[in-house]
Amino acid sequence: MYRPDLTAAADSPQRKATGAHQPLEDHSAGRSGSRCSRAKDNCGGRLEPAGDILEAGFLLKEAGSLVVKSLETFLNAIEQSGVSETIKEGAGQLKSHLLTDDRIEWIRRRLEGDFSVDEWGMDEDIIEFLRPFFLFLYRKYWRVSVSGIENVPSSGRALLVANHSGVLPYDGAMVLTAIQEEHPHPRFVRCLHLSLFSRMPFLNPLMAKLGQVQALPENGERLLNQDQLVCVFPEGVKGIGKLFRDRYRLARFGRGGFASLALKTHSPIIPVSIVGAEEIHPHVKNFKPLASLLKLPYFPLTPTFPFLGPLGLIPMPTKWFIHFDQPISVKDLKFETREEPLLISRISSEVKQVIQANIDRLLDERNGVF
Amino acid sequence: MPLPKRSILITGASTPWGRKLASILEDDPQFDPIIGIDFAEPEIPFKRLRFFRLAPPHPLIAECIRTAQIDTVCHMLFLDTYRYNEDVFQLNVMGTMDLLAACVAGQVERVILVSDSKVYGADYTHPNFISEETVLNGSFTHQYLNDRLEIERIVKNFAVRHRRPRIAVLRVANVLCRSVDTPVGRYFDSAVVPTVLGYDPLLQFTHETDLLGAVARTAASDIDGIVNISGEGVLPLSQVLRIGRKIPLPLPDPFMHAGSRLLKSARVLESTPLEIGFLKYNCLGDSTRMKTDLGFVPAFDSRKTVEDFFAYRNARRSRRNLAGYPLDPIALWELQGWLKARPHVVRDTMNQIREFNIELEQHHVSS
């Protein structure tokens, strides 16, 4: 509340204090630029007991550089001490590898909040940070082999429609990595994920930072109107939580939401078939009591999870195949409003057939699961 | 061709925002009679605005509107409290109802209301950018949001029954500013800020100048209906805290209420976050309509707003910088309200002021 009555206690000293100040000035932009220097001037040395509790915040900022500095001192000490040559060499290498100027600058930027995210919350720094992990999965662990990458357009909007499997959504990450690695014009793919993941702690911010967006018609429409590449998994939770005995049999394709999205935004549909992801976590049984207790749609029991604890979360090193089929254009379709529901169900079943046919072909061609 | 004259009435003309809006409108010659009402006398005199000491339930408002042939009403009178207060509810919600009734009787053309985009509520089922047509079905415990939502419902029912006045509702995203202590500003007050473990929502911010600019723009244009107002861009909560040099304190969701209360009683925090949903999920308004229909481009984007806010707050709270920093008299009113609600801050500030004065006297003696 801002009623202009001075409290009796605060009256006289405050007047006296403000009387010594410079006259009124219009507060507008421009002062924010001097924030850092002001902060640093203020940070020197002692902590005020009462008013300047805020200084603790500056200390936190300094803590990062302190860690870097102490690590550097430690490695320097090892190098100069009289231990064996190999340890010295190792310390020197570790120092030159860990403490590059770029990395120190990166840590400083992150700690000062000097980075930006796009309007969907995508954080390029985090993606760059996690890229080696996804590249390892892509190249070494699952040895993904990709075909038909030329069917993905280099520019403009397109809707990738893929089968979903594997208990945890690794398939989206692999489609993303495939286009970043194999495509002549690498593009970023926005995978639309289940609303289940945006409800879960830790997964919600991680998904947003990796540029993934919750699967809602409004989000899809906005992304496609921004001429982005969008990947959807119409099977949804029925696909990802599929039992092992049902593998490679497509579940119901939602309610045809992706087809109406493509019609609305005039985006070509590219059917994507993923083979290999079904076996990474063989979902033997759905343990329903625990699922309903944890408010999850399924609680998977696999040969390794939860019996081996966190080790059970390591996926199987299967061999993956991803095939991008030819785009199905819906741009030039002429139809009346009354025909739209029929058209949507027709497009939906056609895409489903294409994906299923490609899966069957890839399954015939592959030699064993690993 | 000269623009047609508009007669305009500002409620809450003595509030910081009403006062600033008045000086924006006074510079525009198309607003000719400008009338301001509030229940308190203004601190600084107006240039052209005629001030009357009236508050919404007063029957003379209808008389005033009819006599002055007002065609646009800017409703800026909204009070924000720290804890539930029946008088404030009376003024905010019932006051809006009475004002709308007076506007119907006085044949006002348009009423402009300021609302908050937090009325959509934060929920994981919302799309990333919420459009104006979304049905409001949230429920809140915080009185600020409850009152806003109540007003929105009243306006919706009112618009069904009456074609005139047309109502423009500006749903403004989190306002951070120097002159008014907003709920979001209060959340960022302490050095340690509680967050929910495992969540990092995206936030939009609006600068005070953009809020007032949007209201002035709406008054000058002929727009009605709901418009989301927000600065360009979004920031994750964690980044805001880093820019502000705050220490995040992640608490698990079920212990959020109890934990933050405990910390408040230990005087680590100065206020407890009441709506935990906003610390978990996004609540972002789609500001397409602001750009296309209203044609308004905010001067501050979300990031600049946050930087400006923290530059001011951090400078104000640091004693050594206070001497070189000019004070805004309008901000002073707000500061007093803010201080009143926090007795221990008053005590600390009083100590600081005393020390400051001693230093000042010593300085005079030595020089």
At residue A100, the pLDDT reads: 76
At residue A112, the pLDDT reads: 82
Q: Taking CB atoms and an 8 Å cutoff, what residues of chain B touch A16? A: 353, 357
Is residue B229 predicted with pLDDT exceeding 70?
yes
A120 contacts B209? CB cut-off 8 A: no
Tokens of A209: 């930072």
B127 contacts A54? CB cut-off 8 A: no
Give the residue carrying structure tokens 């199987």. Answer: A316
Angle at B22 between CA B19 and CA B23, to 5 degrees: 95
Residue of B189, B325, B336, B338 to mutate when probing chain A, most A C-beta within 10 A:
B336
Is residue B287 predicted with pLDDT exceeding 60?
yes
CA distance A61 to A72: 18
Q: How far is A52 from chain B (nearest CA, A)?
A: 6
Q: Are B80 and B144 in contact (CB under 8 A)?
A: yes
Report chain A (370 residues): mean pLDDT per 10 consecutive residues. 37 35 34 34 35 48 71 80 76 75 81 88 91 93 94 94 90 93 93 89 91 93 95 91 89 88 94 93 89 88 85 90 94 83 92 95 89
Quick one: three-class SS letters along A89-155? HHHHHHHHHHCCHHHHHHHHHHHCCCCCCCCCCCCHHHHHHHHHHHHHHHHHHCCCEEECHHHCCCC
Minimum-distance CB partner of B317 among A34, A39, A51? A51
Beta strands B235-236 and B31-38 are unpaired
Q: Taking CB atoms and an 8 Å cutoff, what residues of chain B touch A205? A: 198-200, 236
At residue A348, the pLDDT reads: 93
Q: Which amino acid is at B76?
A: M
Specify whether the backbone of A277 is left (phi greater than 0), alpha (psi in -120 to 50) or beta. Answer: alpha
Interacting residues of B141 by C-beta distance below 8 A, sequence separation 6+? B274, B275
pLDDT, tens digit, 9 for 90 and up, residues B155-211: 999 999 999 899 999 999 999 988 788 888 888 877 888 899 999 999 999 999 999
At residue B331, the pLDDT reads: 65
Mean predicted confidence (pLDDT) in B129-138: 90
Q: Are A153 and A327 in contact (CB under 8 A)?
A: yes
Beta strands B192-196 and B247-251 are parallel
pLDDT, tens digit, 9 for 90 and up, residues B323-362: 445 555 566 667 777 777 777 777 777 788 888 878 877 7
Q: Are B165 and B62 in contact (CB under 8 A)?
A: no
CA distance B50 to B35: 5
Q: Is the peptide bond before A13 cis (omega within 30 degrees of 0)?
A: no
Higher-pLDDT residue of B111, B183: B111
Quick one: three-class SS letters along A252-287? CCCCCHHHHHHHHHCCCEEEEEEECHHHCCCCCEEC
**Is the minimum CB–CB distance between A37 and chain B shorter than 8 Å?**
no
User: Which residues of chain A from 45 to 74 reach within 8 Å of chain B, CB to CB?
Assistant: 48, 50-54, 56-58, 60-61
At residue A59, the pLDDT reads: 57
At residue B274, the pLDDT reads: 66
Q: Given pLDDT bands bounded at 50, 70 and 90, which one contains residue B315?
A: low
CA distance B38 to B59: 14
Q: Is the ipTM of this complex over 0.85?
A: no
At residue A46, the pLDDT reads: 35
A20 contacts B124? CB cut-off 8 A: no
What is each CA distance from B27 to A187, B24, B30, B31, B216, in whole angstroms? 50, 6, 9, 9, 11
Residue among B235, B282, B270, B285 at smallest CA distance from B343: B270
CA distance A262 to A330: 7
**Is the minimum CB–CB distance between A20 and chain B shorter than 8 Å?**
yes
What is each CA distance from A68 to A37, A40, A107, A115, B140, in whole angstroms? 22, 19, 9, 20, 45
**Is the minimum CB–CB distance between A218 and chain B shorter than 8 Å?**
yes
CA distance B254 to B276: 10
Q: Is the peptide bond before A306 cis (omega within 30 degrees of 0)?
A: yes
Q: Where are the beta strands (DSSP E) in B117-174?
A: 129-130, 166-172
B242 contacts A51? CB cut-off 8 A: no
A201 contacts B197? CB cut-off 8 A: yes
Average pLDDT, chain B: 86
Q: Which amino acid is at B226?
A: I
Is residue B149 predicted with pLDDT exceeding 70?
yes
Q: Where are the beta strands (DSSP E) in B13-153?
A: 31-38, 50-53, 72-75, 110-116, 129-130
Q: Given pLDDT bands bounded at 50, 70 and 90, which one contains residue B280?
A: very high
A39 contacts B357? CB cut-off 8 A: no
Tokens of A230: 């969008």
Residue among B136, B134, B133 at smallest CA distance from B145: B136
Residue among A179, A191, A64, A178 at smallest CA distance from A122: A191
Residue of B24, B133, B245 to mutate when probing chain A, most A C-beta within 10 A:
B245
What is each CA distance from B174 to A180, B179, B187, B305, in whole angstroms? 36, 14, 11, 10
